[in-house]
Amino acid sequence: MKQSGLYIHVPYCRSKCIYCDFYSGGASCADWQQLTKALLKELHIRRRELKSSVATIYIGGGTPSLIPCDEFRHLVNGITLEFGGSIHISEFTIEVNPEDVTEDKCRVWRDCGVNRVSMGCQSFVDSELLAVKRRHNSKSSIDAYGVLREYFDNISIDLMYGLPGQSVESWRESVSVAMDMRPEHLSAYSLMFEEGTALSVLRDKGRLNFPNEDECLAMWRILSERLRKEGYCQYEISNYALPGKESVHNSRYWYGNPYLGLGPSAHSYDGIDIRRSNPNDLKRYLSFYCADSPTDAAVGNSVFYEEEHLSKEELAEEMLITRMRLAAGMDTTEYEGRFGILDKQRLINNARPFIDNGDLIYDGVLLKLSHKGIMVSDEIILALSM
């Protein structure tokens, strides 16, 4: 049986980055004790959804590095007690912002079992960080990394390309700084314009200048070539790792393994065909799980999440979208076993033009993106799913 993952969403930030559409609220009014109580209550109620042992924990957000040390201990101790006082975790990740990293917090995170840290650097050019309202600067990222390195031997950093005011040369500078740091893992994301974000509003008003498509493509090539030379493997479209340092927890999402998500806006998947999602409403979340007898006052339900049963077509599309992002590609025999020979034949027929032009590689079993195919992956995956 596939092991499970546990995701915990911390919905507080000191301030919201202008590109972010993740659910979060202001940290100035955070009630950390109530949040911890609610998260542990949700775990207690929903633990039965887990049909296998938990092997990974990922605390994301929001900004988990804002959690006070005492509350972090309380949260982790509560999770451990919920699983009978013993839990064997192969990977325990916390997301952090550079400005929150201190010796005391690192010590607490490590002592509580955290063995992987993901730090959101985004850029090492101060003007670019300022343009997207990040609270840290390049120096604070480098300093924070130095502190983290004293306590952890598995560190991931995030970078973003396509930022306002960013150039190909400034991106090359950020990549060089990242390689000087030599983290075990690096995630690089193209800036997305999510509806309703401050970034989209500023773009629509013409207030910011962004790199064009050709420049973003050049940035991706610079990153990919440099990391390959440095010994990193691009194991997923946006993720690079030194050998053996791939994200175990995030790989659960891409391979369709089960995971339980706690906290407002968190998602869960049973590994078969049921997806559950918590509403984006912190007030309702705290009210529900901090009550003696949880009932959602807003809708009168005895469960807080929304549940969706995925159809065969939806499962096939999801498998296609997630597996084709991986360097390992998709096992078409597994696809046939789940969805039938006709669906496999349709998939290969849709893939044929991309196989012929070298964007896809197919050996009769594995179907995967070539290096040049990665650059047009969205177009390819859309065509395959038709």
Residue among 81, 59, 70, 80 at smallest CA distance from 32: 70
Q: What is the pLDDT of residues 95-134, one digit of tens each?
A: 999 999 999 999 999 999 999 999 999 999 999 999 888 8
pLDDT at site 196? 65
Confidence of residue 92 (pLDDT cuts 50, 70, 90): very high
**What average pLDDT score do residues 271-299 get?**
84
Q: Domain 312-384 has what CATH class?
A: mainly alpha
pLDDT at site 17? 59
Confidence of residue 19 (pLDDT cuts 50, 70, 90): low
Confidence of residue 83 (pLDDT cuts 50, 70, 90): very high
68 alpha carbon, distance to own chain's centre? 23
Residue 300 pLDDT more than 60?
A: no
- Give DSSP secondary structure letters for 74-94: HHHHHHHHHTTT----SEEEE
> CB 180: neighbour CB atoms within 10 A?
10
Element counts in the chain: helices (H) and strands (E): 15, 17
pLDDT at site 94? 99
Residue 22 pLDDT more than 90?
A: no
Percent of the chain with pLDDT over 70: 90
Strand spans (E) along 272-322: 274-277, 306-309
pLDDT at site 168? 98
What are the CA-CA distances from residue 116 to residues 27, 146, 149, 151 (Å)?
Answer: 24, 15, 11, 10
141, exposed or middle or buried, with CB in 10 Å at 0-12, 13-18, 19+?
A: buried
Confidence of residue 209 (pLDDT cuts 50, 70, 90): confident
Q: Which fold has domain 4-254?
A: TIM Barrel (3.20.20)
Residue among 373, 376, 377 at smallest CA distance from 320: 377
Topology alike, domains 4-254 and 312-384: no
Q: Are strands 330-331 and 54-61 parallel, antiparallel or unpaired?
A: unpaired
Q: Which single residue is written with the structure tokens 């990153």?
A: 223
Q: What is the pLDDT of residues 308-341, one digit of tens each?
A: 999 999 999 999 999 999 999 999 999 999 999 9
Whether omega for the bond prior to residue 231 falls within 30 degrees of 0, making it cis, is no
What's the pTM value of the predicted model, to 2 decimals?
0.92
Which long-range CB contacts under 8 A does 375-379 form with residues at least 24 apart?
375/217, 375/220, 377/237, 377/324, 377/325
Q: What is the pLDDT of residues 129-158, one digit of tens each?
A: 998 888 899 999 999 999 999 999 999 999
Domain ranges across the chain? 4-254, 312-384
